[in-house]
Structure 1
Amino acid sequence: MKPLWIAAGAATLAGLAAVAFAQSPASWVTPTAPFKIADNLYYVGSAGISTFLITTPKGHILIDGGMPGTAKQIEASITTLGFKPTDVKVLLNTHAHFDHAGGLAALKADTGAKLAASAGDRPALETGTYPGSEDIKAFNFAPVKVDRVLKDGDTVGVGGEVLTAHVTPGHTAGCTTWTFPVKIEGKPAQAIVYCSTSVAANRLVSKTRGPQYPGIVADYEKSFATLKSLKADIFLAPHGEQFDMDEKRARLGKGPNPFVDPTELQVRTAASEQAFRQDLAKQQEAAR
């Protein structure tokens, strides 16, 4: 069954969006065993919400904080892999929604890591709200201070590992896609942690309330163009179903690494752009 947030993507009613987020799938907070994706790249999230760990001898990088209340799960997964949560030096975020930023404040407090995030998402992170839908309390999460404000093309590094921020706005105003080199059994490859280009609960157009934020449609268009220009051998995303995590995980160790697919980024981008255009058309029709 599709998670409610996906089913609500084409809907325009704020009430439906509120229900969708308030009744989020159980998998979003259900623990799952962590696992290795590439030589120093690991999955440490819940069964349904991704968190990625990049390890180095001089400290680690963590991408996304999961749902509110799941920080201890993430920390336990890091420990299970043989690493120390307190060795996490940098926290990153794909986007400032409660299901991916809800645990950042607790993770920051527990690890002492610094949070680097885009300028567009900084207001949402530091207020713990969903801009444009601040009245929907189900969207709120614990505020977290941003220590370093990033712009498109900035890099973040720890222990020789360097990640590049690609601001791909639309899903949020500062949605950030991360690219970085990895090794698979010693061989170089390129990984991407895609932010999101789904519409979800966003208002693209609205007769009564206006768009989620000014310029949102143009932002989506810009982001699709950016994603089409990128290449990656490993495609990862904030929700497991966005990159067939369970199916690929089941095939680990049974042949070539199942997470390696140089075509997946563009296939996923094309499908998301088509869904966006359908949602836009529906919202435009509803606004007439």
Structure 2
Amino acid sequence: MSIEVWTITQRYMMTVNCYLLRTASGFVLIDAGMAKRRGQLEAGLREAGCGPGDLKLVVLTHGHLDHVGNAAYLKERYGARVAMHAGDYGMVESGDMFVDSKGGALVGLVRFLMKALGLSDYERFTPDVYLEDGMDLSPYGLEATVVHFPGHSRGSIGVLTAWGDLFCGDLLVNNKKPERNTLIDDKAEYDASIERLRAYRVETVYPGHGAPFKMEQFMETTR
């Protein structure tokens, strides 16, 4: 049985999605967005009726700044627990999303541009929960499972609900069409994650960038 999902899209030199889910025990937020557009995130939370004390869990799909930028603030202001995979802990511990990056030329270019624009650093924090592959999120009111999808980053994960919604972070993007992400840290791991994705029963994909889409749309474009 599906639950209500709010898509909160932040816009600042790019667009990034945060997804707010209402469960029987409170709200769960998937990804915390960019700190420079915190007002857009909080406006979306207010519109859904989510205030301080209502947000039970923030699930971070990976450690990049456009997905974790408000995590420390949400912990302090809303009292939310923050969860992420340990593979990306070095990013939030150091405040540098490129720490230990193995990425190639494209990642290097992005790193240079973001540092030049003062966008590569963000507020450090310590997660409350470390996510693992296969972890059940029902104790937080969400009938969903964590799936480890490394490649875009070492600690990238998705959240797969019991009814087939996949919140995939940056595993896939939907800018002009549903497709693979070109910004990856480890190609072999990423390719393996894409193959693993095909084995799951997924109905709708909620990407970090771009509009939600049906999984069959991605499958059709990659046959």
- TM-score (structure 1 length as normaliser): 0.61
Tell me which residue corresponds to 2:143.
Answer: 162
More helix by share: 1
The residue aligned with 2:189 is 219
Change in Cα spacing, 1:226 to 1:39, as seen in structure 2 (3 Å) is same
Q: Cα deviations across residues 225-279 of structure 1 (Å, max 9, x unaligned)?
A: 2111122221110012xx3x5xxxxxxxxxxxxx6x35135347x38xxxxxxxx
Q: Deviations over 1:140-197 (max 9, x none)?
A: 221121111121111223563222111111111111111113xxxxxxx420011224
RMSD (Å) for aligned C-alpha atoms: 2.4
Structure with greater Cα Rg: 1
Letter in structure 2 aligned against 1:86 = G
Q: Percent identity?
A: 26
Counterpart position of 2:166: 192
Name the counterpart of 1:131.
99
Give the match's secondary structure for 1:82: coil
Residue aligning to 2:206:
236
In structure 2, relative to structure 1, the CA distance for the partners of 1:46 and 1:169 (3 Å cut) is same
Q: Which residue does 2:82 correspond to in 1?
A: 115
SS in 2 for 1:139: coil
Name the residue aligned to 1:29: none
Q: Distance in 2 between matches of 1:109 and 1:88?
A: 11
**Structure 2 length-normalised TM:** 0.77
1: CA distance, partners of 2:137 / 2:203: 20
1:263 to 206, 216, 219: 216
- Counterpart CA distance in 1 for 2:217 and 2:70 is 29
Structure 1 gaps of 5+ residues are 1-37, 182-188, 203-211, 246-258, 272-288
Contact 2:83-2:129 within 8 A present in 1 as well: yes
8 Å contact 2:29–2:59 — kept in the other structure?
yes
How far apart are the structure 1 equivalents of 2:34 and 2:149?
Answer: 22
Which residues of 2 match residues 20-31 of structure 1 at below 5 A? none
3-state SS of paired residue (2:123): coil
1:80 to partner: Cα distance: 1.3
Q: Is 1:179 the counterpart of 2:146 in the alignment?
A: no
User: How far apart, in 1, do the equivalents of 2:215 and 2:138 lie?
Assistant: 24
Unpaired runs of at least 5, structure 2 = 102-107, 172-180
Query: Matches of 1:158 and 1:151 in 2, distance apart?
Result: 15
8 A contact 2:61–2:168 mirrored in 1: yes
Q: 1:152 aligns with which of 126, 129, 133?
A: 133
- What is the distance in 1 between the residues matched to 2:141 and 2:53? 19
**Displacement, 1:105?**
1.3
Deviation at 1:132, TM superposition (A): 3.4
Instruction: Show the counterpart of 1:77.
Output: 44
CA distance in 1, matches of 2:23, 2:208: 22
* CA distance in structure 1 between the aligned counterparts of 2:190 and 2:143, rounded to whole angstroms: 26
Q: Which amino acid aligns with 2:6?
A: Y
CA contact under 8 A between 1:58 and 1:158: conserved in structure 2? no
- Counterpart of 2:152, as a letter, is H
Local SS of the residue matching 2:16: coil
The structure where strand makes up a greater share of residues is 2
Distance in 1 (CA, whole Å) between partners of 2:69 and 2:84 is 14
